[in-house]
Amino acid sequence: MAKEIERKYLVTNSSYRKAATEKRNIIQAYLNRDPKATVRIRVTDNFAYITVKGKNEGAVRDEWEYSIPVNDALAMIERCATGRIIKKTRYIVPFEGHIWEVDEFGGELEGLTVAEIELSAPDTEFSLPAFVGEEVTGNPQYYNSSL
């Protein structure tokens, strides 16, 4: 079992696009949205994963993630998803020794853009890039499982 330590922010401008070193297309859906144990299916370009996440304790939570066949993932999304199917474009942005993931949401969530940074410890120090605005870590309104 791994621990996910993540901070999340709203994005204020599109300067991350020029700084990005990668761009990925993501489709994801949830099989379970219970905050104690969310179960997500994600297809990122040509790879697929099933992920189970435990309840947040601040910026920290348990996380288990496993590769699965893309066709199985798409079938689960089509047949088993609860709630909306999320489509987003993820930009990978290196900044001062850390990697930021910036997600531009599409479809019904068009206009929402959030930036996340995964850390090795909750007290890890890091700088904020110019595109980062209000912190929304721990705000359930911005959990992908709530969108």
Task: Tell me the catalytic residues.
Answer: 30
The superfamily CATH assigns to domain 2-146 is: Hypothetical Protein Pfu-838710-001 (2.40.320.10)
Per DSSP, helices labelled H in 9-69 are 16-19
* Radius of gyration for the chain, computed over Cα atoms and rounded to the nearest angstrom: 15
Mean pLDDT of 91-108: 97
pLDDT at 10 over 80: yes
**What is the sign, positive or negative, of the torsion defined by CA atoms of 117, 123, 124, 129?**
positive
Q: What is the pLDDT of residues 19-74, one digit of tens each?
A: 999 999 999 999 999 989 999 999 999 999 999 999 888 888 899 999 999 999 99
- Are 117 and 12 a contacting pair, CB within 8 Å? no
Q: pTM for the complete prediction?
A: 0.91
Mean pLDDT of 79-99: 96
Whole-number average pLDDT of the chain = 94
Query: What is the domain partition of the chain in residue ranges?
Result: 2-146
Residue 2 burial (10 A CB sphere; 0-12, 13-18, 19+): exposed
| 3 state DSSP class of 19 | helix
